[in-house]
Chain A
Amino acid sequence: MSLLDTVITIIRVLFAAFIPVCFLAVMVWMERRGCGFIQDRSGPNRANVFGFRLMGIVQNLADGLKLAFKEDVIPAHIKYKFYYVLAPVIVFTIAIVSFASVPFADALVLGGKSYLMQGIPTDLGILWFMAIVGFAVYGIILAGWSSHNKYGMLGGLRAAAQVISYEIPLGLALISLLIVYGTVNLTGIVQYQGQLLFGFIPMWGVVLQPLGAIIFIVAAFAEANRVPFDLVEGESEIVAGFHIEYSGMKFAMFFMGEYVAMFTSSAIIVSLYFGGFQIPWLSTAFMVEHTRLVVILLMIALPLLAYLVVGWIRKNNRNRFLPRESDPDVFEATWYIRLLWAAVILLELVLLIFLIIGAGGAAARILAACLQVATFLVKVTFMCFVYVWVRWTLPRFRYDQLQRLGWQTLIPLSLLNIFITGAIVVVLS
């Protein structure tokens, strides 16, 4: 193993382990501020460190600290303490491990060797995700069962029935997709989506498989136990479902597990249907060949983008009720703006050095990989926002409606989709 191998392995593992955890903070923030904005409220925006509120992210820090320092209670009536403690661990671990096969950049060719940019460089791809994510339900079942509480039990039962029945449309939607792509390897799937349909439409999965995309997204929502399929924890009828007896850090594990699972399924949806790390109309080969053009475009786009963001920060960081001489909000905003411009100048300098020294093959490829990572993260963030957006729009399904949708609508539709896809693939080849 050369030094390069080790470095790449470390980067892979760090990315696969830390990005989901970092996104946790972003997603909880997005959920709370996002739902606030959807409901014309402002959401939590008061917690601060030395007057800096970071648009409300500091609130997450405060909540995290509170959960971490809470007493770790195991209720006295719980008989199977082992399963009770194991359940949140399963949920959280499974959520993180299932992200391991998602590629965050195109295969990186360095020193004549090709490196798959995934947490675990396996070609199992989507099968890995399917294999691991099926275990998450054990966490929920064990939590519901070992809580020894009727609400917990009902929540666990609902979760098990729901996940088992929605795995079928999920898998069937996947089959029609695999017929199109001809591979299970996620890097291969995303590379396939880098082509252009009729020469101008990006060949994303959602264009090739619109019905499959809808089925998969609906089933993925159900698998992640998110609204409108979150009757596992329907607070109006079963209080909090499977995590009713949990508190403190053990509850936090469930909470984080849910958000990491949301992140992972967003990443999978993006990889399968929305082109993954591919930048539309900019393939990896094109970026490596025309590095100078890409760099110059970036150098122009960055300050423009920063200018817009600065305008937005100025506009939204002043207290319109109490015009004051030294408004702390304005003080905060000036610091953010300074930091933003500093970051932009730094990036511009790096790009300038890159432009002057000249783009070698390896440097160009690393630049392309960085751009792809950024694209991937932007897409995943948007998909996570869709999760939040749907949650604060749709009401919860009733249990029979959920099962009817799964068995009587999604499964026949996905079977139909397989036949149509198969026929078209056979005709076209």
Chain B
Amino acid sequence: MSIDIKTVERKGGTPQERVYLVEVFKGMAVTFGHFIRNFLDNSKLYVRHYPEVEPEITARWRGRHRLTRHEDGTVKCVACFMCQTNCPAKCIMIEAGERNDGRTEKLPVRFDIDLLECIYCGFCVEACPMDAIRMDTGIYALTGTERDSFVIGLNELLQSESPFTDEEYKKGSK
């Protein structure tokens, strides 16, 4: 395997560029064009006025977590601790209990996620063998006045719904 040598063309050697001032004025003309366009009519700015206009979120966007359910409404999670073991931020805390509905042997009686610790890497979603935890709620703005309010439990995780259908989630976009 030979190493490819690519000679990069050095720019800035022409007399006009070496004088520098001409190029300075060219650059200033460009920036002034932008300035005056936006100054006279600020509707042309390339910005989203955030609190009024919310960003469009795709199904792949990793937002706050949720726990999925079977068709009959029971928890999919089997409390296998895969997500907790895999979590690099160690923000998941699961307590397993006995399951009596005949689907599996265990179910979580406690499933806490500390959102202040969470780094939204999505490893828990990858690790889950049951597709029980997902990050497709589309919630990206989490605010609170106390630290405790950022620790969400089983109920909250189960109650949140995804704005996306299953097909969209699998495809990754709308």
Contact = CB atoms under 8 A, between A and B. Distances in A.
A319 B45 CA distance: 13
B26 to A, nearest CB: 10
Given A321-B49, A322-B52, A393-B28, A34 B35 contact: yes
Interface in B132-170: none
Given A42-B49, A393-B30, 14 more contacts: A34-B35, A38-B34, A40-B44, A40-B46, A41-B46, A41-B47, A42-B45, A214-B21, A319-B52, A322-B52, A389-B32, A389-B35, A393-B24, A393-B31
Interface string B21-64: 10010011011101100111111111101001100000000000
Given A37-B34, A40-B46, A389 B41 contact: no
Interface in A358-409: 389-390, 392-394
Contacts of B47: 40-42
A312 B49 contact: no
Nearest to B32: A389
Interface of B: 21, 24, 27-28, 30-32, 34-35, 38-47, 49, 52-53
Interface of A: 34, 36-42, 214, 312, 315-316, 319-322, 389-390, 392-394
A406 to B, nearest CB: 13
Contacts of A37: 34-35, 38-39, 42, 45
Contacts of A322: 52-53
Given A38-B35, A42-B45, A321 B28 contact: no
A413 B108 CA distance: 80
A40 B43 contact: no
B12 to A, nearest CB: 12
B41 A315 contact: yes
Contacts of B32: 389
A393 B30 CA distance: 9
Contact of B31 (A315, A316, A319, A389): A389
A206 to B, nearest CB: 14
